[in-house]
Amino acid sequence: MIALSYSFLTRLARLLTRILLGSKFHLRGTSNVPVSGPVLIVSNHVGAVDPAIIGAWTPRPVWFMAKAELFKGSWAWLMRGYHAFPVVRHSPDRTALRRAFGLLKDGSAVVLFPEGHRSEHARLLRAEPGAGFVARRSGALLVPIAITGTQYVLGRHTVIPKRAEVQMTFGEPFQLPDRNRDGSQMDHQQSADYLMTKIAQLLPLEYQGEYAGSPMPRSAQA
């Protein structure tokens, strides 16, 4: 298989976005992404094309933590070409964590989907505590992304993409606070929930799901 460069693949994804979506693609807030330095980008996940669109339109190269299953088929070469590296979901995957922390230490931008998988109904799901661990341990600046409409472009059981209204918004950079509002130390789940509240603030109410109307969800252990 011929290796394709990340630069070529992202330019191709941008071209395909323009061809397929045209004026139905709405992009906001790209100036919120720092041009250099370590950045952990956290996004909701509603459609199969989310990583392609994020890679194409983020104004700097990014790396993706992607589920390990995607690297077992014939498309593994494409995943690696698009700066994706495998992570075993719902487990402390030390290899993936070392890769993520190493990239951030080197000043790269890494994309993480805190929910761990696509939302069936496009509404926010409860974040995985591992996302909070990565955000807290890395100490990197955080940038939220909110995506809507990509579930209609390419669904779980479709292979031909469709034109739909898609919006991708980059929120303002932020850092995790050290403590909850009551003064208690944030655990990993609470840290992950905090990431999701930043994403929720960029979404219409009908898509906020688990984080609708909650400025800081309580810990699952509370």
Convert the pLDDT of each residue in 87-139 to its tens digit.
877 677 889 999 999 999 999 999 999 998 889 899 999 999 999 999 999 99
pLDDT band, residue 30 (cuts 50/70/90): very high
- How, if at all, do strands 39-43 and 25-28 pair? unpaired
Check residue 216 and give its pLDDT. 53
Whole-number Å distance between alpha carbons of 132 and 202: 19
The DSSP secondary structure of 24-91, one letter per residue, reads GEEEE-GGGS-SSS-EEEEE---STTHHHHHHHHSSS-EEEEEEGGGGSSTTHHHHHHTTEEEE-TTS
Mean model confidence pLDDT for the chain: 90
15-19, 68-72, 136-140, 183-187, range with the lowest pLDDT: 68-72
Check residue 217 and give its pLDDT. 46
13-17, 42-46, 60-64, 157-161, range with the lowest pLDDT: 157-161
Is pLDDT of 218 > 60?
no
Check residue 158 and give its pLDDT. 76
Element housing 112 (H / E): strand 109-112
Check residue 221 and give its pLDDT. 39
17-21, 63-67, 208-212, range with the lowest pLDDT: 63-67
What is the average pLDDT across 172-179? 93
Is pLDDT of 74 > 80?
no
What CATH superfamily classification does 6-211 receive? Glycerol-3-phosphate (1)-acyltransferase (3.40.1130.10)
CB pairs under 8 A, 24+ apart, for 60-64? 60/33, 60/35, 60/36, 60/109, 61/6, 61/10, 61/108, 61/109, 62/108, 62/109, 62/110, 62/111, 63/100, 63/103, 63/108, 63/109, 63/110, 63/111, 64/110, 64/111
Whole-number Å distance between alpha carbons of 20 and 25: 9
Is pLDDT of 220 > 60?
no
- pLDDT top residue among 173 and 178: 173
Is pLDDT of 222 > 50?
no
- pLDDT top residue among 183 and 39: 39
